[in-house]
Chains A and B, each alone.
Chain A
């Protein structure tokens, strides 16, 4: 008799546990969904400002950056993602020899976002922006040139990847809270 009771008891408790489970999923069926529609919400999407997307080198209106071509970032990078090309230029005023940036190359495809380069930079010439739309068909586009000196005047960010940066995202960038 007892055996039979447990047999039926088992069925009852099983059905009960299954019903609770179905109750939960049934409730979720009707609750609003949590999905964020990424491409649709592109204009309102907020990316945390500490998120590291792409390394960038801000330039002032004359196309000059703060980089002094010391090459610290290149040394500290674990991945050789940064190549600083510099030359020695004689300063006309003082006559002293000074390093000047010729080309600043950055390989987005190798970067591991460890932030060591930004940290070590003595002049805060580089920083990470929050751009994440970087997928491309052509590997070589991930090799970016952040700075290039052309006939004396440095030109602003050159590569198409950076130039294409959507304005919507640019607006939301705020200075670091640090």
Chain B
């Protein structure tokens, strides 16, 4: 934290919330430092910035909800909190067209492969937000025989939003955190692809198609 304060550089700007008010800034700073170590071409860097501005401001969620948090997610989309302000309202029902998945609600053992498949079906670049205690740690159902204890076991999670369920503002805050992260990533190069190889991808697709249609 001390290091972060000495830097004092605002890496990314989000309207209405000062950089220092955000949590976990050191993570972003670390991420950017790593990116710089790999060396960035200046031209590509500028282009990257434009692209990331676009990507960061146009994150379309997948309509995915399993339980309580899903209702709060609906509230976020509804009139009072209106995530359309962020351009996030284009919730796509088809995973192919979504940019990030808000895992809202408990993921059970039976649901886990389905969730994984949904994630695999999404087009790159894609992000995951774990919403609520259940997805972070299993939450209230931590000791159950049929609940996944944290979806970070099965998916690479980008943002964790604690709460049970988190209130809509907290969700918006989490989405802004994601925006910040997206804006700092590099599109060119494979930094943001925590993905599998081409071959395994094909394989998975094949399995998807044969498993269920």
Interchain CA distance A112-B162 in the complex, whole Å: 10
Asked whether A137 is an interface residue with its Cβ less than 8 Å from the other chain, the reply is yes
Instruction: Chain A residues near B20: list those with CB within 8 A.
Output: 164
Binds A, one of B39-47, B56-64, B171-179, B190-198: B171-179
Q: CB distance B137 to A107 under 8 Å? A: yes
B20 nearest CB across to chain A (Å): 8
**Chain A residues, CB < 8 A from B92:** none
B17 adjacent to A134 (CB under 8 Å): no
B7: Cβ under 8 A from any A Cβ:
no
Classify the secondary structure of A's interface with B: loop
With A133-B173, A137-B159 known as contacts, the answer to whether A40 contacts B133 (CB < 8 A) is no
Q: Is the interface of B mostly helix, strand, loop or mixed?
A: mixed
* A109 and B174 within 8 A (CB): no
Do the beta carbons of B157 and A39 come within 8 Å of each other? no
Chain A residue numbers with a CB within 8 Å of B80 are 34-36
Q: Is the CB of B139 within 8 A of A110?
A: yes
A36 to B133, CA, bound (A): 26
Q: A51-B167, A160-B1 are in contact. Are A110 and B177 (CB under 8 A)?
A: no
Expressed in whole angstroms, the Cα–Cα distance for A37 and B1 within the complex equals 30
Complex alpha-carbon distance, A160 and B162, angstroms: 15
Residue picked from B14, B137, B138, B150, most chain A C-beta under 10 Å: B137
- Asked if B118 lies at the interface with its beta carbon under 8 angstroms from chain A, I say no
Contact with A36, one of B21, B28, B81 (Cβ below 8 angstroms): B81
B172 touches A38 (CB 8 A): yes
18 contacts between A and B (CB under 8 A): A36-B81, A39-B176, A51-B167, A79-B137, A79-B139, A109-B137, A109-B160, A109-B162, A110-B142, A132-B170, A134-B163, A135-B170, A137-B27, A137-B28, A137-B181, A139-B150, A142-B162, A160-B26
11 new A-B contacts, CB < 8 A, other than A35-B85, A132-B173, are: A38-B81, A110-B139, A134-B161, A134-B163, A135-B23, A135-B159, A135-B166, A138-B24, A139-B152, A139-B160, A164-B21
